[in-house]
Structure 1
Amino acid sequence: MKMLRGAALPAFAMAAYVLTGPVQAGDAAKGEADFKKCKSCHSITAPDGTDIVKGGKVGPNLYGVVGRQVASYEGYKYGDSIASVGASGLIWDEAEIAVYLADPKGWVVEKTGDAAAKTKMTFSLKTGDEDMAAYLASVAQ
């Protein structure tokens, strides 16, 4: 029995790795460089009004987005689909942001379960989504 228990732990660990894959951390410096693609619609402004990245007002301010409830930035008018995701209580983390950035429409459809769900964000990152998520996490620290 002891032998079986000893063999089961490595097998379980390997199964968990195969099913979930390796932890992939993004590169915040690369994300910062890529943010130029985002600043036409988004700014990063600290609560005291300090502009970290001056940008547009089409999208919400992204300061502190990691750890914030989806669709909860005060004063921004979110679309109905993402607002319903936010109403469910989902909190943005780096992994969720990376998936969203790769396919905003697909993410909203998946989260709402509604094939007709829409998003105001039409831009998607073909590469570097983990890097952007890491950058967004780093700016509010």
Structure 2
Amino acid sequence: MKTITLAATLAALASPVLAEGDAAAGEQQFNRQCVACHVVRDDAGEVLAGRNARTGPNLYGIDGRALGAIEDFRYGDALVALGETGATWDEESFVAYVQNPTAYLREATGDGRARGKMAYQVRDAQQAADIYAFLATF
């Protein structure tokens, strides 16, 4: 059973997102799925989306930002190491990561022991793409 689940996960990671995200739908999904852990706070400290959640990193300016790059946030080692290779957030990496952080990190790093610290998973690829489109507006 684990082999089938892993194979399905890896196939999903390899599948391209067919449609770009919808920012308006992404705002709704962000408010449903992300606000418990994440905030979008600009450099002046103004909260643009979410609440004052601190479990996950601030998602302001995520588009094109290096993975694991928010200062003073305790990311997992695998995400930091991947960011140090020059990997940046784009729609494809974001969608794959939020659908299964650990599987994404294992595939991207080639390390079968890599683990993601984010426990929540966005189950639908289109919703993940929509969330990214919303975040990319900041």
TM-score, L = length of structure 2: 0.81
Q: Find 1:80's aligned residue among 68, 77, 96.
A: 77
Q: CA deviation at 1:99?
A: 1.4
Alpha-carbon distance in 2 for matches of 1:101, 1:48:
27
Report the alpha carbon displacement of residue 119 of structure 1 after superposing the two structures with TM: 1.0
Alignment of 1:21-100 (within 5 A): 23-36=18-31, 37-53=33-49, 54-100=51-97
Runs (5+) with no aligned partner, structure 2: 1-14
Cα offsets for 1:93-121 (capped at 9, x unmatched): 12211111111111111111111111110
Aligned to 2:10: none
Structure 2 CA distance for partners of 1:119 and 1:35, relative to 1, 3 Å: same
Distance 1:43 1:89 in 2: 24
Quick one: percent identity of the two aligned structures?
Answer: 34
RMSD between superposed Cα atoms in Å: 1.6
> 2:120 matched to 1:123?
yes
User: 5+ residue gaps in structure 1?
Assistant: 1-19
Between the two proteins, the alignment pairs up a number of residues equal to: 120
The verdict on how the C-alpha distance between 1:34 and 1:55 changes in structure 2, with shifts beyond 3 A counting, is farther
Structure whose CA Rg is larger: 1
Kindly provide the amino acid, as one letter, of the partner of residue 42 in structure 2.
A
Aligned residue identity for 2:128: D
> 2 CA distance for matches of 1:105 and 1:52?
28
What is the alpha-carbon distance in structure 1 between the residues aligned to residue 17 and residue 120 of structure 2? 27
